[in-house]
Structure 1
Amino acid sequence: MNHSMINVPLDTISSTIASMSSVLTAAGAAAAIVGDDRSIKFVTDELKKLIGEIPTARHLEQTLGIPLGDLRRPSSTTISVRDRKMLVSIVPFANGAAIVLRQVFDDPPQISDIPKVVDVIRSVVNRFITFAELKSIQLEVSASDFDERYRHHDQLADALGTLLDNSLHYVPAGGEVVIGVRPMDHKGKPILLFFVMDNGPLVPEHMKHVIFESGFVWNAQAAERTGGGLFKVREFAAAHGGSVWVDSKTQKACSFFLRLDPDH
């Protein structure tokens, strides 16, 4: 069994621009901080080396070739800077957002146009790694070394992204999240069992089914844990011979499971 650990070098996410600047500088990150008023508050030397001086947010958008959009929502986009493939991540915090660039490398060549499910998981993790680092969350990929592929991989990536996004929202700074997959048998048929587990708060018993319903409205600031966008995950699972559910039997971890028929 292969466990791929992603080291988290950053200490914590801060509610102040001054502290966030120190975190980004200490990490050697190529990053800028944009305030609530969309003005540039801070630019690391690493980012200046990469793209030069950044006087305004508009200039940053033009240099990167992408709109920054809603700074209150985390997002990641792949761009090219000086012939290097870079991942631009927007990481919101209390007084604005950190715009972080990191170099990414092409995935290994696939023997078919359909990627391995393990590579789908890793691509999802890459979208959220910057946010996890800034929140000092330990993010682990746990997957058996097997060659299973899944032809609806784009929809799978969206579903896993929703589950991971929810975990990262609820896990406190310094927490842990594990995302992975296991090939299994169910009633004599092969299945793929994906999971996202974390040590954040548990979903209350009375909400375990409600959060997957189409009419459920997520309140991100509510005291109890629920989740956003989970109906779409349920729709995807149902359309492909599977199901999704949340479990916390151990009372130590909140675990979301996504079961799929690999042949569906």
Structure 2
Amino acid sequence: MKSLRVRLLVVVLSTLVVFWVFWIGCQVVQMGRHQTGQWDMMLRNIGTQIILSLPVDTERVMLNRRERFQVAEQTGYEGDKVSFQAWVGRHHLAMQSPGAPDTPLKADFADGFAEVTIGGQPWRVFAVSDVTGRVQVQVGKPKALLRADIERWTALSLSSAVLVLLLLKASIWGVVHWSFRPVTAARRALGKRSPSDLNPLPTGGLPSEVRPLVESFNALLAQLDTAMQTEKRFIADAAHELRTPLAALLAHTQLAASAENPECAKQALVKLAAGVERSARLSEQLLDLARIDASKPQQGGPLPLYETVELVVRDFEMVAAQKQHRIVLDLEPCDVQGHVDAVGVLVRNLIDNALRYTPAGGRCVVSCRSVIEGGREVARLKVADNGPGVPPHERERIFNRFYRVPGAGGRGSGIGLSLVARIAQLHQARIGVGDGLDGAGFAIWVDFELAGAPPAQPPRRHPEPSLPSGQRPALST
């Protein structure tokens, strides 16, 4: 019984049936008592009326006259339902109603009510005598007639209840069917849609109980549509970004193959190796981006951030030495809640971005320490350099996917910082940007929630470079 219509119909009708059965049962009992009281009153009134209607000399007339009067037509006569007898003494039946038995209705001739058996059937009898005790009138009625009246009333009540239930069933079914017409229409419209149609379902006319569910579906459809549009843009941008280095690789390969002297071939091969390196890095970043986009935004376990930073920096020592860069570490123990792989990708892209745009002989400072930000203690990971920096009006756009600052000296893919923003969002971390070292260059910091209890003595907050006027102090992710 999964249908809401059937459930509603069964519950409502079952409740009404139980109520009506109880109510009819109570009414039958009350009706029996009421009818018995009415019967007794009726028998008393008839008996008393009969004995008060008899003349004083009726004793002689009743003893000597046995002949009865007749009426011209007895159509519809039902007087035999109540029988009465008039007795003179205990042995003379002076008068009786048509159909009444010849034997006394009340054999003990005691005044009052009694339950007797006549002809094998129970009767209700009332006897009343005159003040002299010479004449007694006995009035009785079979109890089968009482049961017949109660059964007839019960049958009528049950028939009415069944009719009302049928009408109520039809009404409930019609109202529920009418109320669910918008739901049925939405289901049919959804069934006719193509798999790529993620437009919201219509909510007009929906019952208030169903509207939140449909609105939740619409919210989910909106999220799916956003995800699909993001995926389409990602595929288009990735194809565009891969087309350029692949074309350059082909050109360098053809140049090396057609070179007439070893020096030209060597130069072409050097450019070819650089193109391969750039393509490999771009492919790695695209894979990281796809993997991060597919991950769920849930916190991992406690992670020693300073150890992860140190490991990633060690991996960049050779690259820094080749470019004559100097990396300075400023670390203190601090644990955060996070995924080690994702945080490693974040740190690697921050350092790679700093080294890529810092000229030869430049300096990069990587720090990890606890600071007080907004009245709460956080673990701040910061990478600052003394390179050309980022213009203030471009600082909010550098986290967009495939965006590169115009005129930048490096050959970046525009994916690294978008990866940083996405990973920070997954960890509910906050990104900030500002000036780099010695009032120049560029700095990016990420504030993570600390894992575990805060230290007893909060460390001193280290001042950060302020953004120029008109810029927001931090980018929330």
**Normalization by structure 2: what TM-score?**
0.31
Pairwise CA RMSD of aligned residues? 3.5
Matching of residue 123 in structure 1 with residue 311 in structure 2: yes
Q: Is the CA contact 1:185–1:191 (under 8 Å) kept in the aligned structure 2?
A: yes
Q: For residue 383 of structure 2, what is the amino acid of its counterpart?
A: V
User: For the Cα contact (< 8 Å) 1:166–1:228, is it kept in 2?
Assistant: no
Contact 1:192 1:262 in 2 (8 A): yes
Matches of 1:154 and 1:253 in 2, distance apart? Answer: 28
Describe the shift of the 1:187–1:221 C-alpha distance in structure 2 as closer, same or farther (beyond 3 A): closer
1:153 positional shift = 2.1
- For residue 213 of structure 1, the aligned residue among 391, 400, 407 is 400
Aligned to 2:276: 70
Cα distance change on mapping 1:190 and 1:168 into 2, 3 Å: same
| Unaligned residue ranges in structure 1 (runs of 5+) | 1-33, 39-56, 58-67, 76-112
Tell me which residue corresponds to 2:430: 243
Q: For 1:246, give the aligned amino acid.
A: V
Q: Indicate yes or no: 2:159 matched with 1:159.
A: no
Is contact 1:114–1:153 with CA below 8 Å preserved after alignment? Answer: no
Question: Equivalences for 1:181-200 in 2 at 5 Å?
Answer: 181-200=368-387
Q: Distance in 2 between matches of 1:126 and 1:224?
A: 22
Alignment map for 1:31-110 (pairs within 5 Å): 36-37=268-269, 70-72=276-278
Q: What residue in structure 2 maps to residue 60 of structure 1?
A: none
Partners of 1:186 and 1:119 in 2: CA distance: 22
- The structural deviation recorded for 1:225 is 10
Contact 1:202 1:225 in 2 (8 A): no
Secondary structure of 1:195's partner? strand
Contact 1:208 1:245 in 2 (8 A): no
Q: Is the 8 A contact 1:181 1:192 kept in 2?
A: yes
Name whichever structure is richer in helix by fraction.
2
Letter of the 2:352 counterpart: D
Letter in 1 for 2:331: A
Give the match for residue 233 of structure 2: none
Q: Is the CA contact (8 Å cut-off) linking 2:365 and 2:385 kept in structure 1?
A: yes
Q: Deviations over 1:2-61 (max 9, x none)?
A: xxxxxxxxxxxxxxxxxxxxxxxxxxxxxxxx97538xxxxxxxxxxxxxxxxxx9xxxx
| Structure 1 residue 128: Cα displacement | 1.1
Cα distance, 1:180 vs. partner? Answer: 1.4
- Which residue of 229, 235, 249 corresponds with 2:416? 229
Structure 1 match to 2:328: 140
Paired residues, number: 165
> Does structure 1 retain, via aligned residues, the 8 Å contact 2:378–2:449?
yes
Contact 1:117-1:150 within 8 A present in 2 as well:
no
Instruction: Name the CA shift for 1:131/1:188 in 2 (closer, same or farther; >3 Å).
Output: same
Give the counterpart letter for 2:354 in structure 1: S
Question: How far apart are 1:149 and its partner, in Å?
Answer: 4.8
SS of residue in 2 equivalent to 1:70: helix
- Read off the aligned partner of 2:357 and give its amino acid letter: Y
Q: Secondary structure at the match of 1:37?
A: helix
Q: Provide closer, same or farther for how the CA distance between residues 247 and 195 of structure 1 changes in structure 2, counting only shifts above 3 A.
A: same
Is the Cα contact below 8 Å between 1:167 and 1:198 reproduced in 2?
A: yes
Q: Identify the residue that residue 203 of structure 1 maps to in structure 2.
A: 390
Question: Which has the bigger relative contact order, CA under 8 A and spacing at least 6?
Answer: 1
Offset at 1:240?
Answer: 1.6
Query: How far apart, in 2, do the equivalents of 1:195 and 1:235 lie?
Result: 17
Q: Using a 3 Å threshold, how does the CA distance of structure 1 residues 70 and 150 change in structure 2: closer, same or farther?
A: farther
Q: Contact 1:203–1:225 at 8 Å: present in 2 too?
A: no
1:168 equivalenced with 2:355 (yes/no)? yes
Residue 115 of structure 1 and its aligned partner are, at CA, apart by 5.1
Instruction: State the one-letter code of the partner of 2:427.
Output: H
Equivalent position SS for 2:269:
coil
Percent of pairs with identical residues? 26
Alpha-carbon distance in 2 for matches of 1:244, 1:147 = 18
Runs of 5+ unmatched residues, structure 2: 1-265, 282-300, 453-477
Structure 2 vs 1, CA of residues 69 and 253 (structure 1 numbering), >3 Å: closer, same or farther? closer
TM-superposed CA distance for 1:239, in Å, is: 2.1
Matched residue type, 1:211: I
Task: Tell me the distance in 1 between the aligned counterparts of 2:434 and 2:409.
Answer: 19
CA apart distance, 1:133: 0.4
- The verdict on how the C-alpha distance between 1:129 and 1:150 changes in structure 2, with shifts beyond 3 A counting, is farther
Question: Are the counterparts in 2 of residues 246 and 257 from structure 1 also a CA contact under 8 Å?
Answer: yes
Q: Over residues 142-186 of structure 1, what are the superposed CA-to-partner deviations in whole Å (9 max), with x where a residue is unaligned? A: 112x25254422211111111110111111111100111111233
Q: Say whether the 8 Å CA contact 2:303–2:339 is kept in structure 1.
A: no
Match of 1:12 in 2: none
- Please tell me whether Structure 1 or Structure 2 has the larger radius of gyration of its CA atoms: 2
